[in-house]
Amino acid sequence: MKYVPTIGIECHVQLSTKTKLFSEVDNDARGKEPNSCVSPVDYALPGMLPRLNGEAIKYAIRAGRAMHCNINAFSRFDRKHYFYPDSPKGYQITQFYQPIIGSGFVELPSGTKIRIEHAHLEGDAGKLTHFSDYSLVDLNRVDTPLIEIVSMPDIHSPKDAHDYCKELWRLMCYAEVTYGDLYNGNMRFDVNISLAEEDAKELGTRAEIKNLNSFKSVERAAEYEIKRQSRLLDAGEKVVQETRGWDDASGKTTGQRSKEEAKDYRYMPEPDLPPINLSKEFIDAESAKLPLMPDDYREKFNQKISEDILEILLDYPSLMKKLNEIDEKNVKSLSNLFASVLLAEEKSAEYLNDLPPSKDLNELAEMNEKKELSSTATKEVFLKLFDPQMKGRGAKNIAKELGLVQENDLGALQKIVDTVLAKPETQKAQEDFRNGQEKVIGFLVGQVMKESHGKANPAAVQEILRKTLTK
């Protein structure tokens, strides 16, 4: 049978506020000892009440605007009841009935639009680490502020699922609401997949794959699950509605537990937090703080940077900000250096945190344009701009110190060419060139480069040689 896959994705985005959603505790637990970023509120000790972090509201507004979403002036929190060892309260404080972020959409680079149903604020659960006969719980992550972004079932291929998650990650990073560290779980994806026969009026039974933290895993898990469900349906069996886990090593999903419905969580209004009422002025003021987004850069640079390179650079907001600062005429050459030289470096992640001043990058691009530096020398000086010992010296001074500035003075180059052509060892090559053997010009250029200690502009040298030898 031919089946149509339908994919919906729930994305949990950890907000990078300084403190947690309901307590004044450090919200950045990366590299910290387990259970060190906690308070009595996080432990849910008797009498401890939540206090809402106002910054999380501002971050949620920016995140919503990044997805072209409506922001609801009125929203409120609810309790989602379930028992699990990493949730001391026995419930999660979330938004179910009236979330802060309404409908919107995410547009993929291909032009496909994926609708957003809504996004809501909630506190994260802790983390369990399982061993053979015991488990350890770390509550550092408890009540880290999250927004959970729920897509509409508009995705119909693993590739679009991959591209949607990647574009969503970009939007959240450019909006500056999350650290975006996938390895540390700053963004996690739950992928719901169902199959239905072509022309079917209803969607099939869905399975949910939990806690994926890479775009490739989203794509591979979707591919596997589509094949698994297809085999079941072809055999006349039913797909079970369940939560499944993904094993990256084996490339397979495995059943974990039956999938709960909303009624199983016994949602009720959160009695310890008042509703949120936002004025239009407040929403507009926070919306105005949204920086340039990926689509803004696509529109600005689509005639200056090739699409392939632009899509690579869009994964690095700091590079796009820098390109936005430099002179327009230098964007193309510097974008190529960023993509082909900087990102190939072992220390690229370190370099991205401390990019050279725009004036130094402009100076380098202009030296290359004027043929004062060869392409190889340009790359060498470019990397030196990131060297802490070279900081502040400027591209021109670095090039001079390294002896990389090319000689472009035509008069000076003519004298060097004349010196080389007067040497006995070049006479046969000169005769061969005059007899139509073009390839010997490379030998003569090499002799001039040697005579100039590598400082002559090869293109200018070749032009002078040709003119001189054809007189």
pLDDT tens for the 471 residues of the chain, in order: 689 999 999 999 999 999 999 999 999 988 899 999 999 999 889 999 999 999 999 999 999 999 999 999 999 999 999 888 888 999 999 999 999 999 999 999 999 999 999 999 999 999 999 899 999 999 999 999 999 999 999 999 999 999 999 999 999 999 999 999 998 889 999 999 999 998 888 999 999 999 999 999 999 999 999 999 999 999 999 999 999 999 999 999 998 877 667 678 899 999 999 999 999 999 999 999 999 999 999 999 998 999 999 999 999 999 999 999 999 999 999 999 999 999 999 889 889 989 999 999 999 999 999 888 888 889 999 999 999 888 888 999 999 888 888 766 667 778 888 888 889 888 888 888 888 888 888 898 888 878 877 777 777 778 888 888 887
**CA 103, 107, 108, 110 torsion-angle sign:** positive
Point out which residues pair with 74 in neighbouring strands: 277
**Other CB atoms within 10 Å distance of the CB of residue 270:** 19
pLDDT of residue 210: 92
Residue 25, Cβ density class (10 Å: 0-12 exposed, 13-18 middle, ≥19 buried): buried
Find the angle CA(386)-CA(392)-CA(395) to the nearest 5 degrees: 70
Instruction: State how far Cα 154 lies from the chain centre.
Output: 22
**Other CB atoms within 10 Å distance of the CB of residue 85:** 12
pLDDT of residue 408: 66
- Distance (Å, whole) CA 314 – CA 166: 10
Token output for 286 = 């926070």
pLDDT of residue 102: 98
Domains in the chain, start-ordered, CATH in brackets? 3-282 (no CATH), 292-401 (no CATH), 410-469 (1.10.10.410)
pLDDT of residue 260: 66
pLDDT of residue 361: 96
Token output for 367 = 């030296």
DSSP string for residues in 29-82? -TTPPTT-S--HHHHT-TT------HHHHHHHHHHHHHTT--B-SEE--EEEE-
Say which residues have a Cβ less than 8 Å from residue 196's Cβ, sequence separation at least 6.
Answer: 3, 4, 6, 202, 203, 204
- Distance (Å, whole) CA 382 – CA 377: 8
- Distance (Å, whole) CA 224 – CA 227: 5
- Structural contact between residues 80 and 116, judged by C-beta atoms closer than 8 angstroms: no
- Distance (Å, whole) CA 429 – CA 414: 18
At 282, is the secondary structure helix, strand, or coil?
Answer: helix
Token output for 216 = 């490739």
Nearest alpha carbon to residue 113 among 122, 121, 104: 104
**CA 167, 169, 170, 171 torsion-angle sign:** positive
Whole-model pTM? 0.87
Phi, psi of 8 (to 5 degrees): -120, 145
**Other CB atoms within 10 Å distance of the CB of residue 79:** 20
Residue 28, Cβ density class (10 Å: 0-12 exposed, 13-18 middle, ≥19 buried): middle
What does DSSP say about strands 104-107 and 145-151: parallel, antiparallel, or unpaired?
unpaired
Cα Rg of the chain (Å, integer): 30
Phi, psi of 416 (to 5 degrees): -65, -40
Which residue is listed with tokens 């959160």? 270
**Other CB atoms within 10 Å distance of the CB of residue 461:** 26
What does DSSP say about strands 78-81 and 74-75: parallel, antiparallel, or unpaired?
unpaired
pLDDT of residue 190: 97
pLDDT of residue 395: 93
